[in-house]
Amino acid sequence: MTRRCFVTGAACAIGRAAGSQPRIAITMDDVYWSNLPDPWDANRRLLEAMAKHRARLALFVIGKNADSKTGREIVETWKRAGHLIGNHTYSHRNYHSCTFEEFSADATRAGEVLAPNLTSPLLFRFPMLKEGDTAEKRDRMRAFMAENGWGNGHVTIDTSDWYYEARLRQRLAADTKFDVNRFRTPYLDHICDRAQFYDELARRTLGRSVAHTILTHYTFLNSLFLGDVLDMFASRGWRIVDAEEAYRDPVFRRQPKIVPAGESLIWALAKETGKFDGVLRYPGEDGDYEKKKVDRI
């Protein structure tokens, strides 16, 4: 089965799966507030987009981005609004490029900085979704997380929203009058395509849909279009749920034994079966896959 046929089939499968309405929760990474033209305005728009749909996301915060007065205050606005706050390490280092000792120390440091705002359940997300390039590193980090009571804040629907953000900012740097709305439809198409792909992959791998968690980032792009993303899912029959509810799905207790470890949880579970080699690419998502599409904007 080709990747194209697989995705095309997904669009139909969602519509015909009686009694199996797909569910989705938003998760958001990083909180690079200092990169935003107007951090507080962007923060307000992101919070309002979630409030409109009465849904609470999971915000995975890089510790150094909350290690200042403004950073702490921004994270506090999300906690007050009832959203989950999770640990995304202090320095956002790729686990595959450092030792277990270095990585676990960085995660611990973030936990200390974020401690006043961390919520229950305690969740940790690996930067770049990289969970260990050897079985030893993978298993040592899993044991470390269990000892500290941290659940894995898995993504089930991976995306390259970060790439669309980078290209939008690049375009605005070259042309301050560029119409940002030209990114809206291509970005929504990308999100829809990835959601369909991973939902169908879940159905084929597990025999069911799951309570999905989608990867997004705290960016200017999403401050513009997160509301449109949520509206799109609602209009296509997806039920938008709180991240806390999504993470109660039993699928999040699974620990795929693959190396390199990581990517979308659904991707990893499919990889573990050995049945989807013609469908799965590595990495699961990357800017290179989106370049030609964005070049046309």
Q: What is the pLDDT of residues 164-215, one digit of tens each?
A: 999 999 999 999 999 999 999 999 999 999 999 999 999 999 999 999 999 9
pLDDT at 260: 98
Q: Is the pLDDT of residue 4 over 50?
A: no
Q: Is the pLDDT of residue 17 over 80?
A: no
The pLDDT confidence band at residue 9, using thresholds 50, 70 and 90, is: very low
pLDDT at 6: 53
Mean predicted confidence (pLDDT) in 107-114: 98
**Percent of the chain residues topping a pLDDT of 70:** 94
pLDDT at 5: 46
Largest separation between any pair of C-alpha atoms in the chain? 52
Please, what is the end-to-end C-alpha distance for the chain in angstroms?
Answer: 30
Q: Is the separation of the CB atoms in 198 and 159 below 8 Å?
A: no
With residue 261 as reference, give the H or E element that holds it: strand 261-262
pLDDT at 20: 83
What is d(CA 131, CA 142) in angstroms, rounded to the nearest whole number? Answer: 9
Report CA torsion sign: 64, 70, 72, 76.
negative
Burial class (CB in 10 A: 0-12, 13-18, 19+), 215: buried
Residue 195 identity: A
Burial class (CB in 10 A: 0-12, 13-18, 19+), 53: middle
Enumerate residues 6+ apart whose C-beta is below 8 A from 104: 140, 141, 144
Q: Is the pLDDT of residue 11 over 60?
A: no
Question: Long-range pairs for 48-53 at CB < 8 Å and ≥24 separation?
Answer: 48/227, 49/226, 49/227, 49/230, 50/26, 50/81, 50/83, 50/226, 50/230, 51/81, 52/227, 52/230, 53/230, 53/234, 53/240
Report CA torsion sign: 270, 275, 278, 282.
positive
Mean predicted confidence (pLDDT) in 30-54: 98
Write out the DSSP string of 166-183: HHHHHHHHH-TT--GGGG
pLDDT at 30: 98
**E-assigned strand segments in 134-230:** 151-152, 211-217
Q: What digits encode the pLDDT tens for the residues 234-272?
A: 999 999 999 999 999 999 999 999 999 999 999 999 999
Per-domain residue ranges of the chain: 3-295
44's tokens: 């307000």
**Can you name the CATH fold of 3-295?**
TIM Barrel (3.20.20)
The residue behind tokens 């806390």 is 244
Characterize 1-18 residue by residue with b for buried, 16 or more Cβ atoms within 10 angstroms of its Cβ, and e for exposed: eeeeebbebbeebbeeee
